[in-house]
Structure 1
Amino acid sequence: MGDDKCSKCGADIPMDSKFCLNCGTKVIKETHQVSEPIHQVFHFLFSKNIITAGILLGILFIWIGVIIVTFSTDLTGLRAAQTLNSLGFFVVGIFLIGGGIANDKMDRLVRLGMIVIGVYMITAVLALSSLINNFY
């Protein structure tokens, strides 16, 4: 028997039951609501749909930077491409880190992987940006 009690008759209700076995009343499971506003904001900003959109936007920035590098012949184009690539990697990294921290419904190892990959991407962007700036 679970810890749940029927709201009508007070009988114990098994964990996965949809109805009370004693009186037949439908069991309404309470969902855990996040009470603090900051947690609600993080859960909204780093929901699966927003994370997916942010990662796709970052990948779009990276590809635009690659296209500019491919067809650019001057230094201004190369700097614009570097900026777009850095921005793309940074956006993807931020959404991976934020999603790994805020989404407590995901598997723990998936969340850890998201955080590690996000930190790696941001670190790589910062390191490569400083190296590239030394060449220009």
Structure 2
Amino acid sequence: MKTIDKLAWIEIKDGQILSTRSKGRTKYYFPGGKREAEESDFAALSREIAEELTVQLVPETVNYFGTFRAQADQHPEGVEVKMTCYTGHYTGTIQAASEIEEVVWLTYADREKVSAVDQIIFDWLNAEGLLN
């Protein structure tokens, strides 16, 4: 089985979770991306968040949230995405940049609008009472 190794930032505010939609896509995804050669999780995640959302993660506030796996969206059956998630505070104003076309705050009612791995995270957050 092929695995796509991704990192994601989990940002929850008022029972809603930050999500993004890339240009040419219909589904929403948590912000983040793939690491480049030799990058640490923090280096890759902070680079991706700065590129996609124009904000800076505050290093001392970034904490591991969990790792989730599911069938990769828009890939052949058997291609899995492994999403390692972190939370953390940021500085700046969130706005769409780079390949991001739209930034939204989603609730559990929006579950069907996100990728399979994000749906697993939605379910967990909802069960924990963190997502409206």
- Which structure shows the bigger proportion of residues in strand conformation? 2
Q: TM-score, normalised by structure 1?
A: 0.21
Alignment TM-score, normalising by the size of structure 2: 0.22
Which structure features the higher share of helix residues?
1
Structure having greater relative contact order (Cα 8 Å, sep ≥ 6): 2
- Tell me which structure has the larger Cα radius of gyration: 1
